Amino acid sequence: MGMSHRIAKLLAGATLLWAPVAALDARAPSRTTAKPAQGADARFRALSEAEYRWRIDQNAADEDSGSAGSRQLPDVGPAAQAARLARWEATAKALATIDPQGLSPDVRIDYMVYRGQIDALLAAQRFRDYEKPLNADTSFWGNLAGWARGSFTRESQYRDYIAMLRALPRYFDQQIGNMQAGLARGFTPPRVTLKGRDIGVAQVVDAGTGEDQPFYAPFRTMPANMAPATVAALRAEAMAAIRDGVIPAHRKLLNFLRNDYMPKAQISTAAYDLPDGKAYYRSKIREYVTADMTPEQVHAIGLSEMQRIRGRMDAVMKEVKFQGDFAAFLTFLRTDPQFYAKTPQELLDWAAWFAKSFDGVASDWFGRLPRSRFAIKPVPADLAPFYTAGRGGTGIYLVNTYNLPSRALYALPALTLHESAPGHAFQMPLAAENKALPAFRRDSYLSAYGEGWALYCEALGEDMGLYKTPYERFGMLSYQAWRAARLVVDTGIHAMGWSREKAQAYLHDNTALSDHEIETEVDRYIAWPGQALSYYMGQLAFQRARAKAETALGPKFNIRAWHDAMLQLGYVPLPVIEARTDRFIAEGGKGPYPEEE
């Protein structure tokens, strides 16, 4: 999973229904050769650009903000939520007056992408998702931790940060109010997934006003060229804001979580049991799969893919001449010390080695490489116990070094290809650097595309020869099975009456994931309905499109050119992947960049 679990639940989106795929002309010219926008194009541009600027202004600081981006905490109170609903309803109404067939081919794709975002944002607003601002993976208070880990270089950045600290009590009060409203109507994460979610809040309270306070971190080391008087004044202002606002706000939130929210959260793990739960879960399938599918259809695809992958896993087991059944092989992989790092640094070192191994073959598989580089760092200690094995994005690949016996080295190559390069830390900066695209295609993370690409990259590692042992290949297959199993488990939990224990057992019996990872993963699916479906459905779209191009073009197929064509898209719904591939075929396999010609 990429670092997409930010307020992007506000920014990102997918379409409610991507039926008009035929409207995409596979023979359309590239964006650089398209005719200038005319009447309908201009109307759409004015509408989308104005709304997107407004939408960005609604954004908050989060774990990806670092030292750039918005320096404000949004208004999330009732009046602001009503204003968002009204704005997106008006936008949807205006979009309905624009005929996509009257748009130029490139703008027609922009229209489809944008319409999907508005549909998803509007659905989330109508279901009042803002009344549940946390899940087993992320929370509104945890998202602010990214600012505390930020690195500032200018006085203005420090002052913006202090302003955020002063606004934090108001923001927390609004979020608590939203959570109280959700609690009153039974719209909360399942109680079982909230265990331990108060740890990060308690750590802020317990740290007090000393220099160990997490929110004081940017002030411990300040630029050497800053005037001493300015440094002293900024530090004093920050400490006052922490003492008078940040700590009391966290103490209030902690009391609310422990005494009201966590004990009274819903017991059921199924989205179907939420208010209007069946419609809510279907909206999440549409959002995260970018297609209008039933839970039963998704479930069936998962079962079929699991059977196919299991056949390949059995073949690897025979290749290494393991004496025993599949369950015994999984036990061997989960318990043999040879497969596990002894220290956190050893795990980080192996991750760096695998990331660098891709660099050695990158130019053979990709024509356009991102300018952005990425760092490899451990997951922060307060998040690690319930965090995923890794997380990647622009400039960062986080590796979870907590509970080393659950972090198998044979799975690390697949994880690294997914989270670093050519996965999230490769695709995300390429999208951001593509200034030919409108901002809502560069910056608004679309899970089906982004996660589908990253999972495709895991399988691509086999083509690239990066899995050096049968065990590493099995690790990749186990990860593939894990994502295919999500189609089974997510729909099973939320629509088919599966218990938490049944979901855990399914992953235990069909993947090599450790029991700790299985527990944290299942709780994530329980608390975040539908999101887990995006990975494998997205990968299938990329694999089908590539196979289509390879068959149609034969010896003319150029994998570098096709990869570049896919990565040039920014974030798009899955049908656009096939449509862009059709154009790629029609143009004889020509890539989007001159150096490929």
Give yes or no: residues 231 and 306 share one domain.
no
Give yes or no: residues 335 and 204 share one domain.
no
Q: Is residue 2 part of a domain?
A: no
Cβ atoms within 10 Å of 24's Cβ, excluding its own: 20
Q: How many residues does the chain have?
A: 597
Decide: 129 and 181 in contact? Cβ < 8 Å: no
Q: Which residue has the tokens 């939408």?
A: 55
pLDDT of residue 188: 97
CA 555 to chain CA centroid, Å, is: 36
**What is the DSSP-derived secondary structure letter of residue 37?**
P
- How far is it, in rounded angstroms, from Cα 571 to Cα 8? 13
- How far is it, in rounded angstroms, from Cα 481 to Cα 319? 19
Confidence tier at 389 by pLDDT (50, 70, 90): confident
Q: Is residue 509 part of a domain?
A: yes
Q: Is residue 198 part of a domain?
A: yes
How large is the average pLDDT for residues 403-426?
A: 95
pLDDT of residue 162: 95
Question: Any idea of the CA torsion for 177, 182, 184, 190, to the nearest 10 degrees?
Answer: -130
Confidence tier at 71 by pLDDT (50, 70, 90): low
Give yes or no: residues 472 and 368 share one domain.
yes
How large is the average pLDDT for residues 113-137?
A: 93
pLDDT score of 31 more than 90 = no
Structure tokens at 123: 């659905």
Residue type, 421: A
| Domain end residue (candidates: 517, 538, 559) | 538
pLDDT of residue 513: 85
- How far is it, in rounded angstroms, from Cα 542 to Cα 527? 28
Q: What's the pLDDT tens digit per position in 238-265?
A: 999 999 999 999 999 999 999 999 999 9
Structure tokens at 290: 């970018």
How large is the average pLDDT for residues 182-201?
A: 94
Q: Which residue has the tokens 């002052």?
A: 159
Q: Is residue 547 part of a domain?
A: no
Q: Which residue has the higher pLDDT, 453 or 292?
A: 453
Give yes or no: residues 370 and 511 share one domain.
yes
SS3 139: strand
SS3 192: helix
Structure tokens at 383: 């998040």
Cis preceding-peptide flag for 573 (omega within 30 of 0): no
Q: How far is CA 388 from CA 111, 138, 364, 486, 518, in A?
A: 34, 11, 31, 14, 10
Q: Is residue 80 part of a domain?
A: yes
Number of domains in the chain: 2
Give yes or no: residues 209 and 296 share one domain.
no
- How far is it, in rounded angstroms, from Cα 580 to Cα 227? 54
Closest CA to 267 of 532, 530, 528, 526: 526
pLDDT score of 190 more than 50 = yes
How large is the average pLDDT for residues 418-433?
A: 95
Give yes or no: residues 231 and 362 share one domain.
no
Closest CA to 312 of 478, 435, 192: 478
- How far is it, in rounded angstroms, from Cα 484 to Cα 299? 9
Give yes or no: residues 104 and 246 share one domain.
yes
Q: How far is CA 104 from CA 43, 301, 582, in A?
A: 12, 35, 17
Number of helices (H), then strands (E), in the chain: 26, 3
| Domain end residue (candidates: 538, 571, 589) | 538
pLDDT of residue 144: 86
Q: Which residue has the tokens 């940017």?
A: 218
Q: Which residue has the tokens 């609604």?
A: 58
Confidence tier at 137 by pLDDT (50, 70, 90): confident
The strand pairing partners of 340, in sequence order, are 408
Instruction: Spell out the long-range contacts of 543-546 with Cβ–Cβ below 8 A and sequence spacing 24 or more.
Output: 543/456, 543/459, 544/578, 545/577, 545/578, 545/580, 545/581, 546/581
Q: What is the mean pLDDT of the chain?
A: 89
pLDDT score of 140 more than 90 = yes
Give yes or no: residues 287 and 434 share one domain.
yes
Q: Is residue 567 part of a domain?
A: no
Q: Which residue has the tokens 């490489």?
A: 369
Phi, psi of 516 (to 5 degrees): -65, -45
Residues of the chain with pLDDT > 90, as a percent, come to 79
Give yes or no: residues 179 and 295 share one domain.
no
This prediction's pTM: 0.83
Domain that holds residue 222: 8-16+44-134+137-188+191-265
Give yes or no: residues 254 and 298 share one domain.
no
Q: What's the pLDDT tens digit per position in 195-220?
A: 988 999 999 999 999 888 999 999 99
**What is the DSSP-derived secondary structure letter of residue 340?**
B
How large is the average pLDDT for residues 395-418?
A: 94
Give yes or no: residues 318 and 241 share one domain.
no
Q: Is residue 201 part of a domain?
A: yes
pLDDT of residue 138: 85
Closest CA to 122 of 143, 94, 144: 94
Closest CA to 111 of 98, 124, 125: 98
Give yes or no: residues 287 and 431 share one domain.
yes
Q: Is residue 324 part of a domain?
A: yes
Confidence tier at 562 by pLDDT (50, 70, 90): very high
pLDDT of residue 595: 60
